A and B are shown apart, each in its own frame.
Chain A
Amino acid sequence: LPGKFDWRDKAVVATVQNQEACGSCWAFSVVGATQSVRAIGGWRLQQLSVQQVLDCSFRNNGCSGGSTFQALSWLKQTGVKLVPQSEYPYKAKTGICHFFPQSHGGVAVRNFTSHDFSGQEEAMMSHLVERGPLAVIVDAVSWQDYLGGIIQHHCSSKWANHAVLVVGYDTVGDIPYWIVQNSWGASWGNEGYVYIKIGGNLCGIADSVAAVIV
């Protein structure tokens, strides 16, 4: 494995989004992984519709919350194609699901994997390099006060409550860390990103890790 790897360097990670006052992190995480994996496959990087997942993934609860696993299961089982964000823009409110004919262009999730990598963060690094950005669930209670830098303490792994996208890692410096894209806007953290020390399953980053196949 390279000492440092960042999918942003390959221009396959879209810009940081802002979920606003809506509990839609799970949809941002799933859509972020899907659009990146498609771009890794050689297609143009395109922002896909988070609102579509929010409105239509019926096993989840829209702005009241949801699970990345349930959203990915729904995408896989139904074969629903994610349309571009421009065609189904984000409103930060749960709305009525808009249906598109199968002939309409979009990106379908063919499959996904979901694993617990706790105690195996080296293997998770390998997974990231091989599969693309990973949708993970973390305990983000202490992120309310985060300004930047590498989180090394006070980030428990007991209560998973927030979905984010792991886009890279850096083990070159004194403190190895994960590079994680959040969906709270670019003014939060390190221009919208949070760095989490690798090892020790900080924030529960390795507990629930999903990779998308399109």
Chain B
Amino acid sequence: SFRAHFRRAYEAEGEESNRRRRLHFQDATKRHAYLNSFSTLPQSAKYGVNRFSDLSQHEFRELYLRASADTAPPFSGLKTQR
């Protein structure tokens, strides 16, 4: 279902890749169960299968989390009240 929905064709990448993607997907479903166990309110975040579910966490970081932050000075303006 995942492969059809997100149009993944692992055959071209070989059997090893197919096996690895399946493992990443299984790891993702375990993470989803853990993260969703904290979602107690209707507005709480939900975690589940999306197009990143066949990536390892390392692959995800390498591809999408590439920003770096420079240290910013603390804000010293006046505090505001709602």
Q: Give A contacts to B, CB under 8 Å.
A: 1, 3, 19, 21, 23-26, 29, 61, 63-70, 114-118, 120, 122-127, 137, 140-142, 144-154, 160-163, 171, 173-175, 184, 187-188, 195, 207-210
B65 touches A140 (CB 8 A): yes
- CB within 8 Å for A147 and B75 given contacts A67-B67, A140-B65, A141-B57: no
Knowing A69-B72, A141-B61, say if A149 contacts B66 (CB, 8 Å).
no
Does chain A have a CB within 8 A of B52? yes
A160 to B53, CA, bound (A): 22
A204 to B51, CA, bound (A): 24
Q: How far is the CA of A150 from the CA of B43 in the complex (A)?
A: 6
Residue of A nearest to B38 (CB): A153
Q: Is the CB of B52 within 8 A of A25?
A: no
A-B contact pairs, 26 of them (CB 8 A): A21-B63, A25-B65, A25-B66, A26-B67, A65-B66, A115-B72, A115-B73, A115-B74, A115-B75, A116-B72, A116-B73, A124-B75, A140-B65, A141-B61, A144-B55, A145-B35, A147-B48, A149-B43, A154-B35, A160-B67, A161-B68, A162-B64, A173-B43, A188-B50, A188-B51, A209-B75
Chain B hits for A141, CB < 8 A: 57, 60-61, 65
Residues of B within 8 A of A148 (CB): 45-46
Contact status B43-A66, CB under 8 Å: no
Contact A145 B32 (CB under 8 A): yes
**Contact of A174 with B43 at beta-carbon distance under 8 Å, contacts A145-B32, A153-B38 already known:** yes
B82: CB under 8 A from chain A? Answer: yes
Q: Which of B35, B43, B74 contacts A142 (CB 8 A)?
A: B35
* Contact residues in B for A21 (Cβ distance below 8 Å): 63
Is A123 in contact with B31, judged by CB distance below 8 angstroms?
no
User: With an 8 A cutoff between CB atoms, is B15 at the interface?
Assistant: no
